[in-house]
Amino acid sequence: VTAGRNQRSRKMEVFELIEGHYLVGNQGIYKVQEFLGQGSFGKVAKCTKLGSPECYAIKIMKSSWAGEREFKMMKLIKDLDPDENHLIKMFEWFPFQNMTCIVYELLDVNLHDSLMNEMQMVHLCWIRVIAQHLLKALKALKSIGVAHCDIKLDNIMFAELDSVNVKLIDFGLAVETKKLSTEIEIQVTPFRAPEVILGLPLDESVDMWALGVVLASVYFGNYPFPSETEYETIRAMVLCTPEEYTETTGEQVEIKNHVINLDAMIHEHRDMFNDHDDDDHRAFIDLLKNMLEVNPKNRITPRQALEHDFITMKHLAGKSKAAYAGKAGEVMGKTPPSEGAQSSVSLCRSQVRINAEGSV
């Protein structure tokens, strides 16, 4: 008993890395500069490689099984262009003492922290960019038969400071679509697809649902469905208007806390920006409805979503509101920035808010 206790104690001591410690990898030696975060899996450290000015994010996991599983998933997607498809880039994997380390590119800040820090409303033009980038990621994953299974605000990161480029991270729960099973626990409650809650057959469309929740959360400032329990969540999904919800359950729905009627919410955003465009907001809501389709068989696919009017901006062509259409094109990189105008990048990273009563 004593020997076992001492062995466990030694393992815990080994894992207690501190700033300044070194990790010996296959492609070099990494020095821990600071810790960026931690969770049940372990820690993420910002590291430099000896002899190189580059910085990396190293995910240091206590479980060798979890580490090897994530590495295998990353190997499956290694042939996908990580920059073109907005996926985090992996450099190497190595065991270190009793830990498993995966070396990733260093990104800036996740969408959740950006929302919490900036306290501003996100303009629809920049939501379009985020949507397009992540739809490209889902399209790429679908092409190789992989489902991410954990899309949420925390797992979407801006590539660098003052950048509108986002990438999908954390493939710890990713799985080959053909191996998706109701016995596997996937997705956190606010982003959990109805078929996951109901224990129905699953495919990669669970990711499309989760992305729909992400975009709705960024747009509205709170989650689109109640998330205290799975039962409340599924009722809100099926009973899509406040009137239907109240008639069936006898409970009043507070729209300010939980968005159920997507159409009604357009009007709440009408006065948020001087250049509000009703047609653009309607196009966005239409895309959301297709992403948040309860029946996964009818849910929009990544390819279809990338061809949706909200992404292609076909509905803005020839509009009399040329200034709005020009701004939308500029943000999407389809037109050069106007001389003397505030850059799209700085606007994007400063126009984000969090609802004081909700929790994104």
Q: Which domains does the chain have, with CATH numbers?
A: 2-105 (3.30.200.20), 111-350 (1.10.510.10)
Q: Is 59 labelled as part of a ligand binding site? A: yes
Q: What interhelical angle do 205-220 and 111-118 show, nearest 10?
A: 10
Q: How far apart are CA 148 and CA 134, in angstroms?
A: 12
pLDDT of amino acid 101: 95
Q: How far apart are CA 23 and CA 265, in angstroms?
A: 50
The residues that are catalytic are: 150
Tens digits of per-residue pLDDT, 22-74? 999 999 999 999 999 888 788 999 999 999 999 999 999 988 888 888 999 99
Q: 3-state DSSP: the chain helix, strand, coil percent, rounded to 5? A: 40, 15, 40
Q: How far apart are CA 32 and CA 101, in angstroms?
A: 12
In terms of Cα–Cα distance, which of 351, 343, 299, 304 is closest to 124? 351
Q: How far apart are CA 201 and CA 193, in angstroms?
A: 11
Tens digits of per-residue pLDDT, 263-285? 666 666 555 666 678 889 889 99
Low-confidence residues in the chain, pLDDT < 70 = 1-15, 116-121, 226-232, 234-275, 319-321, 334-360
In terms of Cα–Cα distance, which of 190, 255, 217, 221 is closest to 354? 221
Q: Is the pTM of this model over 0.95?
A: no
The H-or-E segment that residue 44 falls in is strand 42-49
pLDDT of amino acid 250: 59
